């Protein structure tokens, strides 16, 4: 039996024990729900590492584990957080090496992008570990995850989907980005008078501006998927996250097929999937086990 610890670090830390690719205990959350402790955004990197270590030790329950996997937001290369827009203080932090040095007895530690952990979790939970899995996580920002995770930048949420110079709502400041159209934060900046939910509801009710935007929203997501398919090949494409509820699969699929016409890249499927903390925890653990 394989035993690994999966960790998801975002505004909070969620940790669980994973046995043979499935969660085998409660998900531990730090700070605990309702506690007055500050979130990760206000903690120095060393304190974040210490909080993660404490939860790992507790989740292991005194028994040995084969590996520890940590899903962390941002650009992660070689176990180093190269950038993390929502946790800026962690930029440059050697999270993998720091945590490995804190754990005794020694356990292999692997840090990967949080969306890559979601992709690995989807692959594990659905029995697709032998396949290429891609996931777009739609929330305030837009994450892009790939399983198997490979070295690189892979900031798919910031892929350019329009040449319109007025499209500058992305959280990173870049012009024409997917997140600048599809991300929740950017939708609030675009429609100062309406919440994203209202935009989608008003579009259905016949509001022209909202309807035009909802079309653009789906075409932007399709464009990002088409680019991914043209670079990485066809396969299973998933949409997850709180704003996946806005996705209308029928037009999305049609736009993708309009954008992808070469026969070797045909045959992708798009699916909406529930992927909470548990999926990312399982994915981080499975990734770490397979990374050895």
Residues at the site binding Zn ion, with contacts judged by CB under 5 A: 158, 170, 172, 174, 177, 179
By residue count, the chain amounts to 292
- CB-wise, 177 or 219, nearer to Zn ion? 177
CB atoms near residue 148 (< 10 Å): 16
- CB-wise, 30 or 136, nearer to Zn ion? 136
Beta strands in the chain (DSSP E): 3-9, 13-19, 22-23, 28-30, 67-72, 75-77, 80-83, 109-113, 133-138, 142-147, 236-240, 269-272
- CB-wise, 146 or 177, nearer to Zn ion? 177
Give least dist CB 143 to Zn ion, A.
Answer: 12
SS3 38: coil
Give least dist CB 183 to Zn ion, A.
Answer: 8
CA angle 123-124-128, nearest 5°? 45
Give least dist CB 175 to Zn ion, A.
Answer: 9
- CB-wise, 79 or 184, nearer to Zn ion? 184
Give least dist CB 67 to Zn ion, A.
Answer: 32
- CB-wise, 157 or 283, nearer to Zn ion? 157
48 contact partners, CB below 8 Å, separation of at least 6: 9, 13, 40, 87, 90
Q: Is the peptide bond before 284 cis (omega within 30 degrees of 0)?
A: no
Give least dist CB 81 to Zn ion, A.
Answer: 18
């Amino acid at each position: 039996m394989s035993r690994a610890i999966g960790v998801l670090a975002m505004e909070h830390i969620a940790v669980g024990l994973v046995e043979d690719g499935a969660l085998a205990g409660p998900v531990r959350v730090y700070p605990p729900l309702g506690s007055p402790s500050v979130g990760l955004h206000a903690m120095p990197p060393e304190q974040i590492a210490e909080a993660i270590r404490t939860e790992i030790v507790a989740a292991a329950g005194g028994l040995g584990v084969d590996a520890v996997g940590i899903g962390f937001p941002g650009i992660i290369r070689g176990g180093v957080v190269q950038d993390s827009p929502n946790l800026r203080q962690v930029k440059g932090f050697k999270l993998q090496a720091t945590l490995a040095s804190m754990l005794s007895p020694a356990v292999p530690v692997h840090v990967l992008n949080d969306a890559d952990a979601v992709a690995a979790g989807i692959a594990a939970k659905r029995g697709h570990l032998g396949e290429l899995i891609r996931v777009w996580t739609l929330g305030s920002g837009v994450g892009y995850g790939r399983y198997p995770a490979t070295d690189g930048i892979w900031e798919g949420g910031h892929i350019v989907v329009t040449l319109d110079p007025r499209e500058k709502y992305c959280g990173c400041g870049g012009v024409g980005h997917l997140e600048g159209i599809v991300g929740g934060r950017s939708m609030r900046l675009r429609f100062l008078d309406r919440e994203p939910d209202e935009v989608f509801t008003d579009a259905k009710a016949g509001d022209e501006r909202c309807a035009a935007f909802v079309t653009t929203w789906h075409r932007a997501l399709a464009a990002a998927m088409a680019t991914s398919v043209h670079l990485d090949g066809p396969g299973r494409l998933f949409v997850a996250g709180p704003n996946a509820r806005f996705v209308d699969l029928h037009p999305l699929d049609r736009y993708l097929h309009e954008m992808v016409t070469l026969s070797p890249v045909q045959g992708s499927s798009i699916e909406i999937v529930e992927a909470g903390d548990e999926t990312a925890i399982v994915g981080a653990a499975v990734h770490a086990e397979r990374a050895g």
